[in-house]
Amino acid sequence: MSALSQRDPEIAAIVARERTRQVETLEMIASENYASAAVLEATGSVFTNKYAEGYPGKRYYAGNQFSDQVETAAIERARALFGMDHVNVQPTSGAEANMAAYFATIQPGDTVMGLNLDQGGHLTHGSPVNFSGRLYNFVPYTVDRESEVIDMAAVRDLARQSKPKVIVAGYTAYPRAIDFAAFAEVAKDAGALLMVDMSHIAGLVAGGYHMSPTGLADLVTTTTHKTLRGPRGGMIMANAELAEAVDKAVFPGTQGGPHLHSIAGKAVAFGEALKPEFKEYACRIVENAAALAEALVQGGLRLVSGGTDNHLILADCNSMNISGLKAQNALQGAGIITNKNTIPYDTRSPFIGSGLRLGTPALTSRGMGPAEMQRVAAWIVRVLRDPDGDGVRETVRLEVAEFARAFAVPGITDAQA
C-alpha cells in the first residue's frame, strides 16, 4: 500500500481515478503529454523541500550544494538541446516565463506585437484580460482571412507602422510552420527585439522537425510539459546581452524560491530529449498529425488553413454544423479529450468557439502511428456527425477504452518509458 493511500485514502482514490482516466481515454489536447516515469520521480523528489532563492553559486539560503548541481545540470542540458547562450530554468510556467521576458526587455506602456488570442495567440501575448494587455500597448497582428496563415508582408507593414519594442512569435493554436527567419528580418527592420514563445513546438524544435529560433530570436520562452514531455514548468533562453536582465526579471523580479523539484524533472526531460529516440518521437508526432488531418478532411471536416505542418490541427466545426463546445463535449462523452477553440475571425464567443483543437503528442507518446490515427479520425467523425446520439457516444466510448488500454502510457502503465 502506498504512503498516500495509507495517509489520505480520499486523495489517493482521486489520483487513482485520474490515472485510469488517462489510460482509458484518448488524450488529444495539443498542449498535453505524458511525462516519463523518470521525470515523474524527479518531480516528486525531496527537492520539493528546499528553498533556493538565487542562482547556482549565489543563493540566499544554506544547504544548496545539490540544488546548484541539479539546476546547473538542467541549464547545461537545455543549452546542449537548443544552443542558446543563456538559459534560466526557474520560471514556474509559460505565463511566468513570458512575464519575466517582458520585464527584462520593456517598460509598462511600451508597444509589443503579438498574434491575436482568437487567431491562435496566447493570453500572455496581449489579451486585455491578462497582465500583458493591461501593462503593455499590444498591437495585434492577424492571419490572412483567406489562407488563414500569417502573412509576413502584413506583419512587416504593421511593424513599420507601430514601431514595437518587441515582436512575439509562437502560438497556441496555429497549425502551420512559423518562419522565424522572416520574423527576425521584420524585427530587425523595425528595430524591435524578437521574442519567440515556442511552448507548443519546443519538442519539434528539439527533434529537428520545426525551424529553430536559435540564432534568430533575442529571447525564447517555452513551457516544458507539452511536446518536450517534461514536468509542468517554464524556461527562458536568451542571447548573452540579455542574460543578466532575464535572471533579474525572474528572481527577484517576478518569482521567489525556484521549484527545484520541477527543475530536477526538467533536467531529466532535457536529458531524454537529447537522446536519438526523441528525434524519432518528434518525427512521428508530425507524421501522425498529417495522417489525422487527412483522415478528418476525408470525413468531411474543414481544417483551418487546410491542414497542418506541426503537432496540431484546428478543425472548423461549422463544417459539421455544430459549435466547438458541442464538439468537445460530445467527444468527451466518447472518451476522446480535446478542447474547443476559436477559429480565425470567429463569430462565436471564446467560451463556445467554432473550432476544435486536436493534437498528436500524447497519442504518439503511447506508440500510436498513422494507422491508429485513421481509426481515431473515424471515431471523431462518427461522434461529430451525431453529437446528440447517446448510443453512438456510448458505443464509441467502449471501443475507445478497449483500444486505448492496449497502448502503454509512459509513466503510468509503462514504468520503463
Contacts of 13 (CB under 8 A, 6+ apart): 5
Considering CB under 6 A, how many residues would be counted as binding ligand DSN?
4
Of 30 and 70, CB closest to ligand DSN: 30
Q: Identify the active-site residue in 51, 151, 185, 414.
A: 51
Of 142 and 223, CB closest to ligand DSN: 223
53 is catalytic: yes
x-or-dash pattern for ligand DSN, window 129-168, by CB under 6 A? ----------------------------------------
Q: How far is the CB of 4 from ligand DSN (least distance, A)?
A: 27
Whether 197 and 180 have beta carbons less than 8 Å apart is answered as no
Query: What's at 223, amino acid-wise?
Result: T
Of 122 and 326, CB closest to ligand DSN: 122
Of 77 and 122, CB closest to ligand DSN: 122
158-to-2, 112, 141, 167, 186 alpha-carbon distances in Å = 58, 11, 7, 11, 10
Whether 195 and 105 have beta carbons less than 8 Å apart is answered as yes
Q: Which member of 22, 25, 28, 31 binds ligand DSN (CB under 6 A)? A: 31
Whether 231 and 225 have beta carbons less than 8 Å apart is answered as yes
223 is catalytic: yes
Q: How far is the CB of 201 from ligand DSN (least distance, A)?
A: 11
281 is catalytic: no
Q: How far is the CB of 253 from ligand DSN (least distance, A)?
A: 21
Q: Identify the active-site residue in 27, 118, 197, 272.
A: 197
- Beta-carbon-side half-sphere exposure of residue 161 (alpha carbons within 13 Å): 10
Cell numbers at 230, concatenated: 517534461
Q: How far is the CB of 166 from ligand DSN (least distance, A)?
A: 19
347 is catalytic: no
Q: Identify the active-site residue in 142, 223, 224, 308.
A: 223
Contacts of 141 (CB under 8 A, 6+ apart): 113, 114, 115, 116, 150, 154, 155, 158
Of 51 and 131, CB closest to ligand DSN: 131
Of 67 and 223, CB closest to ligand DSN: 223
Q: Identify the active-site residue in 77, 165, 176, 226.
A: 226
Q: Identify the active-site residue in 19, 50, 79, 232.
A: 232
CA 396 and chain centroid, separation: 28
Of 66 and 131, CB closest to ligand DSN: 131
Give phi and psi for 146, each to the nearest 5.
Answer: -80, -55
Site for ligand DSN in 111-130 (CB under 6 A): 122
Assess 338 for contact with ligand DSN (CB under 6 A): no
Among residues 150, 168, 263, the alpha carbon closest in space to that of 219 is found at 168
For the beta carbon of residue 351, count every other beta carbon within 10 angstroms. 10
Q: How far is the CB of 72 from ligand DSN (least distance, A)?
A: 28
Q: How far is the CB of 275 from ligand DSN (least distance, A)?
A: 26
Q: What is the DSSP letter of 319?
A: G
Q: Which residue is nearest to ligand DSN (CB)?
A: 31
Of 31 and 36, CB closest to ligand DSN: 31
Q: Which member of 94, 164, 233, 411 binds ligand DSN (CB under 6 A)? A: 94
List residues bridging with 325 in a β-sheet.
none
Q: Which member of 88, 172, 288, 365 binds ligand DSN (CB under 6 A)? A: 172
Among residues 39, 43, 74, 41, the alpha carbon closest in space to that of 56 is found at 74
Site for ligand DSN in 241-260 (CB under 6 A): none
The answer to whether the bond into 350 is cis (omega within 30° of 0) is no
| Long-range CB contacts for residues 145-154, cutoff 8 Å, separation at least 24 | 145/344, 145/345, 147/305, 148/304, 148/305, 148/306, 148/343, 148/344, 149/176, 149/305, 150/115, 150/174, 150/176, 150/178, 152/179, 152/182, 152/183, 152/186
Q: Which residues in this chain contact ligand DSN in the complex, by CB under 6 A?
A: 31, 94, 122, 172
| Residues with catalytic function | 51, 53, 197, 223, 226, 232
